[in-house]
Structure formats: structure tokens, C-alpha cells
Amino acid sequence: MRKKLSLSIISHGHHVHVATLLQQLAKLDRSDFEVILTLNLPEPVALEALPYPVKLIQNATPKGFGANHNAAFLESTGDYFVILNPDIELLNDPFGPLLELAERDSLNICAPVIVDADGQVEDSARNFPTPYGLFKRLLCRLLGRPILPDTLRQDSDTVQPDWVAGMFVMVARANYERLGGFNDAYFLYFEDVEFGARARLAGCHILVCKRARVIHQAQRDSHRQLRFMWWHVQSAAKFFVSSAYLRVLIRRMAKAG
């Protein structure tokens, strides 16, 4: 039987987080989803006795974020494809409010509010970056200074950013297919930003549902290690010369003029 939701989870040595998330999903009072679990590295995972179907993909060699989710999409059957980080902790059932919002308009791409372990809202929904803005953010991180969050348009039950981080995103199957999924030319960072740019150009509405809230347990490697920061900068440079970003700039300059 075809499911309403296909949840794509990618693990890169995150089997402890995966086990917790799979058990939290098992406790939900819903049966309309399947899980596509991709193991980017060999690692132990227990799938027995789960009350929902799980399709397991074991990569022979590690792939990037976008390539993994694109491969999982090909194995999925749900009406909605959900990108879900293994280090997400569910506070309750976020899928109901997200699905309700997604079904209002087939072009809606929806995400929950993401908070850290202390309950502070993370900057997972933003305006499109600029080279100067990104340089300022990186400099603030290196100097340990606070970073002011973006000012985003808000309605009664939604926030409307330019893009949302790929930690938890719900997109209609037809939309994901029409957009061609993620651009797998990006390996680790900015896949979600570039996807957001193409989605906005295609007329999609990117929304954060205030009625859905989840916890993000992990710290960001790009904040802690220079190697990851360098990869981040490389991906940013690729985005800033991409056709999607240039088209966004041209469209906004035309509107401003």
C-alpha cells in the first residue's frame, strides 16, 4: 500500500542517533509513512520489530548529502518526500501540522521550527546569503561574536524564508521530481540553499510551520573545524557563481527597479 510520507534518513556513522529517531517514529500514532534509511558507512543498525516499512540502502562508497537523498527518492513511493536528519529529536508528532500546511498548496515546501537542546531557535530558516554577509558571519564565528538572525516575513502560523536548512524538509513528490531534487555537484554544504533558490524560481513557497517544533541535537562541524569551514566556503563560492543565484539576483533587481 502506497504511503503518504516517505522519510529519507542518511546516516554517516550516526547509528546511535538513528536508533533513537527510529524508536521515536515508532511511537507516533500514525501509519502513513515509510522510511528510507541510507548508511553512508558500514555501521550497526537494528530494524527488527519496527511498526513501519524500512528500505535500507548501504552505500559501497560514501556519497554527499544531495546525492544520497536523490537516490533515496528513487526508492520512495510517498506523496510527500521528507528529508530528515538522524540527529533530529521529535517533541511530538510534527508531521500532522506540516502535512496540513503542505496540502494547502501543491507548491508549498514546509519545515518545522528547529530548536537546540536548550530550546533556543536555530537559524535554520534564512534569506539567501550574499558574499559580504557570509564573510561577516564567518568572521563573527572566528572571533566568537554573536550573529544577528535574518529578519524574515511572518504570518500568523508561518515564517517565509528564502530557504530552509536540509535538517527537516517536506516537499511534494511532484515538486521534488520537477525540480530534479538536489544538485549533487555540492558535496556537504549549500545543497539546501541552491535547492531553495531553484524552488523559489520555480514558483514554490518555502514555509516554516510554527505549530511544528523539533530538536536538533548535533553541533555543526563547520563551526568547530577549519577543514569543514573550508568546505563550507568552497560550496558557498560555487553557489555564488551558480545560474540559480544569478537568476535570483536578476529577478530581485528587476523587481526593485
pLDDT digits (tens, 9 = 90+) for 117-145: 999 999 899 999 888 777 776 666 666 66
Find the domain containing 184 and state its range. Answer: 5-128+152-221
pLDDT given at position 219 = 59
Is 233 within a domain?
Answer: no
Look at residue 175 and tell me whether its pLDDT is greater than 90.
Answer: yes
pLDDT given at position 245 = 94
CB contact at 8 A, 88 and 11? no
Is 165 within a domain?
Answer: yes
Each residue of 24-81: pLDDT tens digit? Answer: 999 999 999 999 999 999 999 889 889 999 999 999 999 999 999 999 999 999 999 9
pLDDT given at position 233 = 82
Provide the percentage of residues in the chain whose pLDDT is more than 90: 73
Is 106 within a domain?
Answer: yes
Look at residue 151 and tell me whether its pLDDT is greater than 60.
Answer: no
The region of weakest confidence among 75-84, 114-123, 171-180 is 114-123
Is 200 within a domain?
Answer: yes
pLDDT (mean) for 184-208: 94
Longest dimension (CA), the chain: 60
SS3 of the chain: CCCCEEEEEEECCCHHHHHHHHHHHHCCCCCCEEEEEEECCCCCCCCCCCCCCEEEEECCCCCCHHHHHHHHHHHCCCCEEEEECCCEEECCCCHHHHHHHHCCCCCEEEEEEEECCCCCECCCEECCCCHHHHHHHHHHHHHCCCCCCCCCEECCCEEECCEECCCEEEEEHHHHHHHCCCCCCCCCCCHHHHHHHHHHHCCCEEEEEEEEEEEECCCCHHHHCHHHHHHHHHHHHHHHCCHHHHHHHHHHHHHHC
Is 257 within a domain?
Answer: no
Distance CA 168, CA 179 (A): 18
Average pLDDT across the chain, whole number: 90
Give the pTM. Answer: 0.91
pLDDT given at position 158 = 92
Is 16 within a domain?
Answer: yes
CATH code, domain with 205: 3.90.550.10
Is 76 within a domain?
Answer: yes
pLDDT (mean) for 155-179: 94
Residue 102: closest CA among 158, 52, 153, 152: 158
Is 241 within a domain?
Answer: no
Phi, psi of 219, rounded to the nearest 5 degrees: -85, 160
**Tally of structural domains, the chain:** 1
